[in-house]
Amino acid sequence: MFNMLGSTGVSNFVADWFPIIQMALVIIMTLCSVVLIIVILVQPAVTGNSSNAITGQSNDSYYSQHKGSSNEGKLKILTVILASVIAICAIGYFITYTFYQGSL
């Protein structure tokens, strides 16, 4: 296979570290995926009433306005953060894989 690191003159030190970086990214993605599954299972089910969107009714209470500071809001924020970390690690993994086409 064509090795882009060898052709561009990048040092062997960097080429030796790419498989380690790839393995670390895979481990981080795996751990975040397991935690993300647990967080999603812990969240309560959202039972939205679709007729409110049609009629324009609003049931804004104090709790619904400050949902972000409750445990439910924190779980939603944690879900977004974990999904973002998984996406960033996946992009980083495939970038390192493109430069170094070695096997794990």
pTM of the full predicted structure?
0.68
Confidence of residue 90 (pLDDT cuts 50, 70, 90): very high
User: How far is residue 16's CA from residue 19's CA, in Å, rounded to a whole number?
Assistant: 7
The pLDDT of residue 75 is: 92
Q: Residues 45-64: pLDDT tens digits?
A: 776 656 665 666 666 665 56
Q: 72 to each of 11, 22, 34, how far by Cα in Å?
A: 49, 34, 19
Q: How is residue 28 written in tokens?
A: 């981080």
Token duo for residue 20 = 């380690």
